Structure 1
Amino acid sequence: MDLRLEVEFSKTELTERIDSLKNQIDQSRPLPQEIEDKVMQKLRLEWNYHSNAIEGNRLNYGETVAFLMTGITAKGKSLKDHLDIRGHNEAILFLLSIVKDERDFTESDIRALHERILVEPYDSPAQTAEGISTKKRITLGKYKTQPNHVKTVTGETHYYASPEETPAKMQELMDWYKEASQNKEIHPLILAALFHYKFVAIHPFDDGNGRLSRILMNLILMRNGFPPVVIKMEDRQNYYANLSQADTGNFWPFIEYIGDYLTNSLNLYLKAIEGRDIDEPEDIDKEIALFKLELNNKIEFST
C-alpha cells in the first residue's frame, strides 16, 4: 500500500505545532483529576451539541446540557431530537471504553457505535429513482441497502458508494487504517482526518454517517493521546467546503481544518493547566444560567 502522501502530510509545520502543544501538556502529567474531568466534560458537552446540530438537531446548547446533566427535556422539541443526543452521548461513552482498554477498533465496533447513535429504528423521508417522495426504514448497525446519494444546494447529485460496493469499500478502509496506523511516520492528525473523509465518502449507513465519522476521527485522536476536536455548528459551511475539496483529491485543506480545531482543544488543556478560565460566553455555567432564566420566564419543560 502506497502511503507516501500520508507520510509527506505528516512532515509539516502544522503537525510540528500540534506536537509542540501536546508535549507541553505531557510535561505537566499526571494532571490533577479535576482538570481532566473539567476539560473533558466541556469538550464532551460541546461535542454532543455541535455534532448533532450540524445534522439538524433542534435542541440548543442549553437544552442539550440540561438534558444530559439533569434529564430535563425541552417542550416543543421532538423525542427524536432527545434520542439523538442521548444516543450520541452513549456512543462517546462506548468510545471512551475502547480508549481505556487500549485496544484498536474494528468494523464490529463501528456497527456498535452506529447502533448507539441511532438508538432505535425509524422511518426517514426519501426519494425513489424517479424522484417520487417515499420513506425508508433506518436500521441500526447494518450497512445501507439503498443508495443514499444527496442533492447539493446547486441541484447537483453527490454520489457515495453504492450499497453493493459498500462492504468491500469498508474493508478497504479498515485495511488502509490498519497499515497506516502501524506506520510511525504518519501523524495521528493525518490518520484521523483522512479516516473521517474516507468514511464520509463511503457513507456506509442509511443515516448517522456524519456523526459517526466525527466520533471515529476522535477515537483515533484519543487513542493516540490527543483530545477530541469539536467542529462548531456555526462553521459547518466551511466544514462541508473542505470536505468537498477533498472530493477532488485535494486533501490538505481538510487536514489543516481539522488540525486547527485540534489546536483549539490542546490550547484548552493548556489554559486549564495554567489555571486560566476555560469557559466562554456560550459555555456550561452561563448557558445553564440562561436556561434557568428562560425557565423562569415561563418557557415550560416536561420531565
Structure 2
Amino acid sequence: MTDTTASATPDDRPIPGGAFPLGPRPVARIGFGAMQLGELPGRALPSDEEATAVLRRAVELGVDHIDTSHFYGDDTANRRIRTALGSADDIAIATKVGAVRASDPDAPVPLVVAQKPAELRAQVEQNLRTLGRDHLDLVNLRRTDAGHGIIATGDQIVPLDDQLGEMIAMRDEGLIRSIGLSNVDAAQLRQALPAGIGEIQNAYSLVARGDEDLLALALEHGIAWVPFFPLGSAFPNAPKVAEQPAVQRVAAAVGATPAQVGLAWLLAHAPNVLLIPGTGSVDHLEQNVAAGAVELTPEQVAELDAIADGTPA
C-alpha cells in the first residue's frame, strides 16, 4: 500500500500525501481544484475575500498544484488565483482547453465545444492573460468524443493528432510546459504517448472504476492520474463514496470523515494519483489536505477495494 502520510521538504514545508511528478516537476499529491471559486450552481459563490483565504491557506498547508480553467465562472477562478497568489513559479498551474462559455447566459449547459486547433490556442492565451502568467505548467486537452458533459458534433469532431500538433507547438513556444489529456480512453493515450503526456484527467473514484486499464497504462509511463469526481459523480442518483457503508465503517475506525477515507483510498490505490479536491471553505480545505495523513490498513484497503459500481475493479 502506498504511504499516504504527509512528508516534508528540507525547509519543513509539508508535502501533503507525498509527491509525484506533474509533467517535468514534482508536486504534492494533494492539490486544489478551483472550480468552486468560479461557479457553484445552486449555491452561493464564495466572496473574493473567502477565495483569497482558501488559496493562501492551501499554500500554507503545502499545496503546490492548482487546477483551474478560464471557463470556471467566465475567468472568475483564474482572476482570483492571480489576485491571491500572483505569478510566482512555486505553484504549478494546470488548466484545460476544449470548451468555452456559452454566449447565451440562459443556455441549459453553460459550455460549448471548442476543439479546433486554433480554438485550443485561443483558450491557452486566455488562460495566460487571466492568470497573469507567461506559461502554464500543464494544459489538459479535454476531448469531447463521449462520456461526461458536452459532445462534439459536425466540424467540432477533430482528429486527436491535429490537436496534439497544436499543443506540441505551444509547448515548443514555451506557452505550456506539459500536455495532459482529459476524458480519453487507453487507445487515445497510446496514440498520444509520442507527444509526451504529463497527466490524465478522467472521472474516477472508489465507486466508479471503469478506467483501471487506463490508470495502469498511465502508471507504466509515469503519467500523473488526476481524477475528477473523486468522491463520486455530482450527477443526481449517481453513487457517492461517502454514502457507502464500508467507507463509513472504515472512517469510524480510523477517526476520519468518509470523504477523507475516499481520498485516502485513491492515494493508496496507485502512486501516480494526484488529487485536486475543491472547496470555498478553509475548514473543508483543511479536512481535504488532512486526508494525506489518513493511514489505511491492508485489511481496510481490501474492504474498500470490494466496493464497485459494476465496472471492472
TM bin, normalised by shorter chain, reads: under 0.3
TM-score (norm 1): 0.27
Higher strand share: 2
The structure with more helix, counted as a fraction of residues:
1
